Amino acid sequence: MKRTNETTRRVAMIVIIIVIGCFAFGCLGGDNKSPEQKPETPSAPWTPPQHPYIKSIDTSKLKLGEPSDATITIFNNGNETVMKERIVMTATAVKLDNFAANMALKTKSDEEKTETYSLDFTEQIESGESCALSAEFDLPAKVSGVSIAGLYHVTIKVYTDDTLIGTKNLDLHLKA
């Protein structure tokens, strides 16, 4: 039972870090340019890609130490119905604010500092429609009695129907 609670807390910590990072640094999505394509001019208006993309991320309700939720909205600008969605989050602890915890972190391997989690959804998103994916969490202010505040490197990948639609890399400082 203790292992399950610890795993739940880790998952909650990683998800909050990623969602806060997404909110702080903007939305995911857009086209991946192949090398032979010319870059768009900066003055051109933004045109949505012709496939599903991340429309918005709302983390305004997220709070450490109390139940909260985050919402990621996917807009289907493609021609086919999206049948499943997946969010893959990888977070690596870089530096913790607590001095003793940070010293212990320095003794860990990169593998031990890194956690990867997947959230799967099975919402049907018709062409031309959007869908808000809501994740509810009871986010702890501390994990194993230690504040989770610190600097994390986070990579977020969003898939629809097993196709990558967006990737975001960010360094996030989470405060308790």
The pLDDT assigned to 30 comes to: 47
Nearest Cα to 147, choosing from 75, 95, 79? 95
The pLDDT assigned to 143 comes to: 75
The pLDDT assigned to 145 comes to: 83
User: Residue ranges of the chain with pLDDT lower than 50?
Assistant: 28-32, 34
Could you give the number of structural domains in the chain?
A: 1
The backbone torsions φ and ψ at residue 173, rounded to the nearest 5 degrees and listed phi first, read: -100, 110
pLDDT per residue as tens digits for the range 143-156: 788 887 778 787 77
CATH of the domain at 103: 2.60.40.10
Residue 35 lies in a domain: no
The pLDDT assigned to 107 comes to: 92
The pLDDT assigned to 139 comes to: 59
Residues 6+ apart with CB under 8 A from 96: 102, 105, 146, 147, 148, 149, 150, 151
What is the domain extent for residue 59? 2-29+49-174
Residue whose tokens read 């975001």: 168
Residue 41 lies in a domain: no
Cα within 13 Å of Cα(69), Cβ side: 7
Residue 127 lies in a domain: yes
Residue 40 lies in a domain: no
